[in-house]
């Protein structure tokens, strides 16, 4: 079974600064997908960024980028120019590509605080 680990229960960053959230995962599969979701106080889960494991290029979405290290099974999220609205719980998630419609496996989450 796959597992996802987020070793930082809490992180904080100053507004306009850069922060990196860590995520590692364990799998024996070679083809899979990785995701970062954001959960603000409203508790709505919002997709931040996603990465296909077969792609070597790191995904980027505006101020959000990932550092995907397949051999190390690491998938960290970098937030540049942090804004107050980035404050939220961030979840890393894994999905197997071997079966369509398969489930997401989530990490425990990292609570990000943005200080003005």
List 22, 33, 64, 70, residue binding another protein (CB under 8 A)? 33
19 binding another protein? (CB under 8 A): no
Report if residue 52 touches another protein, rule: CB under 8 A.
yes
Map residue 84 onto helix, strand or coil. Answer: helix
Q: Does 47 bind another protein (CB under 8 A)?
A: yes
| Member of 2, 8, 11, 50 binding another protein (CB under 8 A) | 50
Residue 109: count of CB within 10 angstroms of its CB: 18
Kindly identify the residues of this chain, within the stretch 75-94, that bind another protein according to CB under 8 A: 91
Tokens standing for residue 43: 């508790």
**What sign has the CA pseudo-torsion 83, 88, 92, 95?**
negative
Closest CB to another protein among residues 16, 46: 46
Q: Establish if 70 lies at the interface with another protein (CB under 8 A).
A: no
Question: 3-state DSSP call for residue 60?
Answer: strand
For the four alpha carbons of 5, 102, 100 and 109, in that order, the dihedral sign comes to negative
Cβ at position 16, least distance to another protein in Å: 28
């Amino acid at each position: 079974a796959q597992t996802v680990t987020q070793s930082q229960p809490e992180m904080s960053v100053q507004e306009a600064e850069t922060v990196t959230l860590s995520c590692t995962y364990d799998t024996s599969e070679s083809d899979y997908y990785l995701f970062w979701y954001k959960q603000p106080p409203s508790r709505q889960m919002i997709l931040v960024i996603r990465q296909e494991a077969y792609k070597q290029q790191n995904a980027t979405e505006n101020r959000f980028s990932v550092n995907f290290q397949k051999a190390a099974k690491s998938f960290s999220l970098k937030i540049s120019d942090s804004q107050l609205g980035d404050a939220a719980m961030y979840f890393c998630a894994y999905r197997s590509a071997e079966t369509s419609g398969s489930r997401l496996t989530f990490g425990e989450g990292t609570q990000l605080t943005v200080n003005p």
